[in-house]
Amino acid sequence: MRSEDKIFTLSQLQQQLQTWRSQGQKIVFTNGCFDLLHLGHVDYLEKSRQLGDKLVLGLNTDASISRIKGPSRPLQDEKSRARVMASLLFVDAVVLFDEDTPLELIRAVQPDILVKGDDYTIENIVGQDVVTQRGGEVKTVPLVKGYSTTNIVKKIENQHNS
């Protein structure tokens, strides 16, 4: 399968979700910017996928990242980030969203399991009420300490400025 084949519009994703659900597949959802792929991301996504049968990744658009993280981000455009994320064998679908939070996307996907890193408490995970109200689960997975895109950017900036 080509990585491009795992990048969906919302309407395409909803059709794919129907197929997976008809096959009895458990859908896991997570989201993020994934601006620079690093070990922390890989470990987190692999652990997330192990919680179900299919992992759907909601990916922030360039515009939403700029609003959230400032005008110097993202470092890579959304098409590049989507392809990189779709190339991971444990990511089954990538869908872009333009809002500041994934709430509307979570409502549309209706995942069986919603996952974030353990830097979140379950009560503070956007969409947790939507998922639990329909009988789904909300989980956190342990993050690999010391890995973040922000830290990598700072390290590069420090090396460049010295």
Written as one letter, the residue type at 29 is F
Which of 126 and 153 is assigned the larger pLDDT?
126
| Contact criterion met (CB below 8 Å) for 4 and 86 | yes
Q: Report the alpha-carbon distance of residue 31 to residue 105 in Å, rounded.
A: 10
The answer to whether 109 touches 100, Cβ cutoff 8 Å, is: no
The answer to whether residue 136 scores a pLDDT higher than 80 is: yes
| Structure confidence at residue 153 (pLDDT) | 67
Contacts of 84 (CB under 8 A, 6+ apart): 34, 37, 76
Q: How confident is the model at residue 144 (pLDDT cuts 50, 70, 90)?
A: confident
**Cα–Cα distance list, 12 to 9, 16, 92 (Å):** 5, 6, 13
Which of helix, strand or coil describes residue 23?
coil
Which helix (H) or strand (E) is 85 found in, with range?
Answer: helix 78-86
Per the CB < 8 A criterion, the answer to whether 67 and 100 are in contact is yes
Cis peptide leading into residue 74 (ω within 30°): yes
Q: If residue 41 lies in a helix (H) or strand (E), which one and from where to where?
A: helix 39-49
The answer, yes or no, to whether residue 150 has pLDDT greater than 70, is: no
Q: From 78, 130, 68, select the one nearest 105 (Cα to Cα).
A: 130
- Region 91-96 average pLDDT: 98
Predicted model pTM: 0.92
CA distance to 32, 78, 84, 95, per residue, from 36 (Å) = 11, 11, 9, 17
